[in-house]
Amino acid sequence: MTTQLDFARVPFAADLSSYGHRPAIIADGRTVTYLELGQRVGDLARDLGGERRLIALAASNDVDSLVAYLAALTGGHPLILLPEDKPAALGSLIAAYDPDVVLRSAHGEFSLEERRAGSRHDLHPDLALLLSTSGSTGSPKLVRLSHANLQANAESIATYLGITPEDRAVTTLPVSYCYGLSVINSHLLRGATLVLTGLSVVDPCFWDLCRSERVTSFAAVPYTFELLDRVGFSGVELPSLRYVTQAGGRLAPERVRHFAELGKNRGWDLFVMYGQTEATARMAYLPPRLAVDNAGAIGVPVPGGSFRIDPVEGLPDGELVYTGPNVMLGYANQPEDLALGRTLTELRTGDLARKNAAGLYEIAGRRSRFVKIVGLRVDLGQVEQLLSAIGVTAAAMGDDDMLTVAIEGGHDTNLLTKVLAQGVGLPRAAVGLHTVQELPRLGNGKINYPAVAALVRQRQAEQGTPDPGASPSGAAGQDSVRRIFQECLELTEISDTDTFVSLGGDSLSFVAVSVRLEQLLGHLPPDWHLRTVGALERTPEHRHPSEKEPGRIQKKRLLARMDTGVVLRAMGIVLIVSTHIGLLEWQGMAHVLIAAAGFNFARFQLTGRRLPRLRRQLTSVARIAVPSMAFITFAYLVTDRYSLANVVLLNAILGPEQVTTQWHFWFIEDIVYILLAMSALLAVPWLGRAERRFPLMYPLALFSAGLLTRYELIEPNVPHTLPALWLFALGWAIARARNLPQRVLVSALTVLTIPGFFDNHNRELTMIAGILLLTWLPVLPVPRILSKPVVLLASASMHIYLVHWLVYPPLVETSPALAVAASLTAGIAYWSLCNAVSYTRRRRGRKAEIRQATILPSPATTD
């Protein structure tokens, strides 16, 4: 249905032109005055029509997005606001709410998709803005905000920050994020200037921009402060900076004190703030003069707002309740909810709070039974229900680093940890189980969680909690099967029934585990990755070296038997880098490694139940994609050879068809695309069952489908990439070939399909030889003196491939051999750095568990 325009005005959006020729926006070196901005907003508002319609905006930090946002407010059109770089979330909300108009702005292009002339929605006249409570996930649960909410919060923020027309705020946060949006609203309200940029604080150009445009403030979330430390912010000269704001989560008190004191010394203020999307952005702020002495507080209510603390039975702290004109109208879960008016007048924050001696509010924890661990929202009640369903009485607690569960009675904690980690989707290292004789309870029979936390702490003190930095169980300096698994897979609890695959092992960890097991056992069974830890420990070869025959010891010192896939990865990366640099000409190994990737996928990623298997597959993809994207981001920032499509691994889809430097990372994109596609296929129940029932025929069917692009019988519209699917499927089939006829079949397919793929016989012969080695020789003898270099090169092969594109160009003219050596060394260094970062994160999580007696206080906001 359509509704004639009859709406409350938002003055800061409707009265832009009143500030005349003052600068409103500075972006890409161009200044847009308030008069120009008001004209552009008015023009777009007229284009959106004279009837209220539901609009969805996929926004980025650019002028077009800001104009679209303001035009919707000015025209009275309720707006669903989302980030431009989350198309899946946009698609989900379009499907859920069926907006009448969809606006998109990115990369200098603006589009207006009018899906119908009028509107099919009944829109309440007060409804102005709809924001997600769960970031950019596309959840249909939205916060309904009114025009009055936006105006009131903008005025409140502008008041306590003392914003004037002379202020200039740089955009460090997305416009689609309520914290970032509040910066825009409050500055437009006062006729101040917005410096729009997508640059990060780690980019030197960001600070150059701040100086050249005389920026007076910027907004930060806790992670921003970590980045500020990395770039040496304390030494950055910013003569015009007046204040820094912090919200979006709890900043540790010691960090608050550090930056408050830094600001005092450097002439700017730190405003610590507290808010939730449900209150349009801000509910409290800590006056800068009080920050050093009250670093754990959220401060006082924003102007126009008030707090009260309602008692919570059984807890010393009560729930914080906020009242003010910025409190939302209510939630929307479906299109029909858009017709609702105000359904609540106060906001129950879900945070437990207290007042300190200075009269400031402090957050003591969460009343709601939710925690966010490694980015995943975990329902503690669901954890208890999951265990209850298998007959285990439990009390679940947690913080931002660890899920801690106390279980009543005697149970196998190793098994339950595995079940729980898989059930809630957490890494095993983030789940801590502790047995207690009886769970403490309140008089009403409910679990006494503070007492449980104290009891868990007592048990930890009695039993000792293993330090991830300490050596796992076993004699010092002496390997065991269990110790190898613990160290290489970075786990602390491993049972006799675990296998390499069930513990989440993949092709990246396979290298280190297989080499150390071969050294320990003397002979590594071909199916070792599927054998249990107990079975491996009972193998006849599992004896201390002193027990073995002298002749065998002599032989072992000369040769090591290494997995063929490991050797191919090590050889392959050396030949790939050497060929790119021009030290020698030996092409074809990259395509051998694609077949090896399919081979490893079949070995490590196809066992177990559907959902745990899918999580394991996606984790394996992340171990490739995350370090790749991190390095490519660095390459994008320091060179002009790459694009944002490279950063997000979408060059094959969005990049140029002609081969340029932007195609350097094609191999990474290939592997990620194929692994995601295979994981998606196997997530379909009937396809998963088909793979288990026909383990060889399934990859052969994929191989046949891949031949359609290999022989260009169909046009995939993704240049240079999809033709690799047939090689991946061929490697998968090799892993499933169990007997002589099957190996002969896959060998014949190799010999028949590879010739003609390239107009280079040597390249094709290399591919055939590598794949046949993978088919017929599960292990290869390698001089023991080379075993460690082979392990290093194979483990770091992906990282070497990434970094060599930046390392060799300045060295190749001096010495190609030096360029190769430097590339290999730099790649190993980057691999080591990635491992160190991962290890440090896990170590901190484990130590946090030891330090905490109860749930860590967390002002868990949905900013």
Question: Is position 444 within any domain?
Answer: yes
Q: Which of 28-32, 36-40, 416-420, 438-442 shows the lowest mean pLDDT across its residues? A: 438-442
Task: Please give the Cα distance from 596 to 507 (Å, whole number).
Answer: 10
- Mean pLDDT across 334-348: 95
Res. 717: pLDDT tops 60: no
Which residue from 264, 453, 250, 246 is spatially nearest to 362, judged by alpha carbons?
250
Task: Please give the Cα distance from 167 to 785 (Å, whole number).
Answer: 65
Measure the N-to-C terminal CA separation of the chain; round to a whole number of Å.
Answer: 33
Which residue from 373, 230, 233, 232 is spatially nearest to 841, judged by alpha carbons?
373
211-227: pLDDT as tens digits: 999 999 999 988 788 78
Print burial letters for 422-457: b (CB count within 10 Å at least 16), e (below 16): bbbbbbbbbbbbbbbeebbeeeeeebbbbbbbebbb
The helix (run of H) or strand (run of E) holding residue 563 is strand 559-563
Q: How far is residue 451 from each of residues 151, 340, 403, 553, 847, measured CA to CA in Å?
A: 45, 43, 17, 57, 21
Res. 339: pLDDT tops 90: yes
Tokens linked to 433? 């189980």
DSSP state, residue 546: G
Residues 59/65, Cβ–Cβ less than 8 Å: yes
- Mean pLDDT across 329-358: 93
- The mean of the pLDDT values for the chain is 84
My answer on whether 424 and 355 are in the same domain is no
How much is the pTM? Answer: 0.50
Give the pLDDT score at 6.
45
Tokens linked to 312? 């919570």
- Classify residue 742 by burial, with Cβ atoms within 10 Å: 0-12, 13-18, 19+: middle
The length of the chain is 863
DSSP state, residue 526: T
My answer on whether 347 and 434 are in the same domain is no
Residues 6 or more apart whose CB falls under 8 angstroms from that of 498 comprise 414, 418, 485, 532, 533
Give the pLDDT score at 46.
93
Q: Which of 303-312, 577-586, 837-846 shows the lowest mean pLDDT across its residues? A: 837-846
- Mean pLDDT across 725-752: 94
Question: Is position 844 within any domain?
Answer: no
Confidence class of residue 460 from pLDDT cuts 50, 70 and 90?
low
- Mean pLDDT across 585-600: 93
- Mean pLDDT across 528-557: 56
Question: Is position 409 within any domain?
Answer: yes
Res. 757: pLDDT tops 70: yes
Total structural domains in the chain? 4
Question: Is position 863 within any domain?
Answer: no
Label the pairing between strands 23-27 and 30-33: antiparallel
Please report, for the domain that includes residue 65, its CATH number. Answer: 3.40.50.12780
Q: In this predicted model, which residue has the larger pLDDT, 529 or 358?
A: 358
Give the pLDDT score at 477.
36
Res. 754: pLDDT tops 90: yes
Q: What is the DSSP string of 478-498?
A: ---HHHHHHHHHT-S---TT-
My answer on whether 362 and 375 are in the same domain is no
Give the pLDDT score at 463.
53
- Mean pLDDT across 428-449: 74
My answer on whether 357 and 505 are in the same domain is no
Amino acid at site 737:
A
Q: Looking at 115-248, which runs of residues are DSSP E strands?
A: 127-132, 142-146, 168-170, 193-196, 217-220, 243-246
Res. 856: pLDDT tops 60: no
- Mean pLDDT across 533-553: 53
SS3 of the chain: helix, strand, coil, percent, to 5? 50, 15, 35
Task: Please give the Cα distance from 837 to 771 (Å, whole number).
Answer: 34
Q: How far is residue 96 from each of residues 54, 78, 122, 336, measured CA to CA in Å?
A: 12, 15, 15, 11
Res. 501: pLDDT tops 80: no
Residues 167/291, Cβ–Cβ less than 8 Å: no
Task: Please give the Cα distance from 538 to 544 (Å, whole number).
Answer: 13
- Mean pLDDT across 225-239: 88
Res. 377: pLDDT tops 70: no
Residues 622/614, Cβ–Cβ less than 8 Å: no
Residues of the chain above pLDDT 70, percent? 85
Which residue from 321, 413, 304, 303 is spatially nearest to 367, judged by alpha carbons?
321
Tokens linked to 380? 């503690």
Q: In this predicted model, which residue has the larger pLDDT, 461 or 395?
A: 395
**Domain span at residue 450?**
370-465
Q: How many CB atoms lie within 10 A of CB 149?
A: 25
Q: Which of 566-575, 730-739, 844-853 shows the lowest mean pLDDT across its residues? A: 844-853
Three-state SS at 405? strand
Confidence class of residue 38 from pLDDT cuts 50, 70 and 90?
very high
59-80: pLDDT as tens digits: 999 999 999 999 999 999 999 9
Tokens linked to 263? 């600001």
Res. 445: pLDDT tops 90: no
Amino acid at site 608:
G
Question: Is position 582 within any domain?
Answer: yes
Q: How many CB atoms lie within 10 A of CB 108?
A: 10
Q: How many CB atoms lie within 10 A of CB 842?
A: 18
Give the pLDDT score at 647.
95
My answer on whether 620 and 525 are in the same domain is no
Question: Is position 287 within any domain?
Answer: yes
My answer on whether 286 and 348 are in the same domain is yes
Print burial letters for 14-50: b (CB count within 10 Å at least 16), e (below 16): bbbbebeeebbbbbeeeebbbbbbbebbbebbeebbe
Q: In this predicted model, which residue has the larger pLDDT, 360 or 658?
A: 360
Print burial letters for 796-808: b (CB count within 10 Å at least 16), e (below 16): bbbbbbbbbbbbb
Sequence-ordered alpha helix ranges (H) in 86-146: 87-97
Residues 6 or more apart whose CB falls under 8 angstroms from that of 69 comprise 57, 59, 79, 81, 175, 181, 184
My answer on whether 577 and 512 are in the same domain is no
My answer on whether 362 and 374 are in the same domain is no
Res. 3: pLDDT tops 60: no
What is the rounded (10 degree) CA torsion for 507, 475, 471, 375? 50
My answer on whether 642 and 786 are in the same domain is yes
Give the pLDDT score at 838.
74
Residues 6 or more apart whose CB falls under 8 angstroms from that of 651 comprise 643, 645, 662, 663, 665, 666, 669
Q: What is the DSSP string of 661-687?
A: GGGTTHHHHHHHHHHHHHHHHHHSHHH
Confidence class of residue 474 from pLDDT cuts 50, 70 and 90?
very low
Which residue from 173, 274, 187, 155 is spatially nearest to 219, judged by alpha carbons?
173
237-294: pLDDT as tens digits: 999 999 999 998 778 899 999 999 999 999 999 999 999 999 998 999 999 999 999 9
Q: From 489, 523, 548, give the residue that closes a domain.
A: 548
Q: From 435, 465, 495, give the residue that closes a domain.
A: 465
Tokens linked to 683? 């997530």
Tokens linked to 180? 């970032």
Task: Please give the Cα distance from 73 to 436 (Å, whole number).
Answer: 57
Phi-psi region of 141 (alpha: psi -120 to 50; beta: other; left: phi over 0): beta
My answer on whether 724 and 790 are in the same domain is yes
Please report, for the domain that includes residue 516, its CATH number. Answer: 1.10.1200.10
Task: Please give the Cα distance from 661 to 651 (Å, whole number).
Answer: 11
Print burial letters for 278-314: b (CB count within 10 Å at least 16), e (below 16): bbbbbbbbbebebbeebbbbbbbbbeebebeeeeeee
Question: Is position 390 within any domain?
Answer: yes
Question: Is position 80 within any domain?
Answer: yes
Highest mean pLDDT among 105-114, 164-173, 309-318, 370-379: 164-173
My answer on whether 440 and 523 are in the same domain is no
CA 242 to centroid of chain Cα atoms: 33
Residues 475/495, Cβ–Cβ less than 8 Å: no
Confidence class of residue 844 from pLDDT cuts 50, 70 and 90?
low
Task: Please give the Cα distance from 790 to 792 (Å, whole number).
Answer: 5
Task: Please give the Cα distance from 662 to 666 (Å, whole number).
Answer: 8
Q: In this predicted model, which residue has the larger pLDDT, 402 or 744?
A: 744
Q: In this predicted model, which residue has the larger pLDDT, 408 or 722?
A: 408
Q: From 432, 465, 498, give the residue that closes a domain.
A: 465
Give the pLDDT score at 161.
97
Give the pLDDT score at 721.
53
Residues 436/408, Cβ–Cβ less than 8 Å: yes
My answer on whether 497 and 540 are in the same domain is yes
Amino acid at site 5:
L
State the greatest distance between any 2 C-alpha atoms of the chain, in Å, as a whole number: 94
Please report, for the domain that includes residue 374, its CATH number. Answer: 3.30.300.30
- Mean pLDDT across 305-321: 89
Residues 6 or more apart whose CB falls under 8 angstroms from that of 477 comprise none
The helix (run of H) or strand (run of E) holding residue 829 is helix 816-851
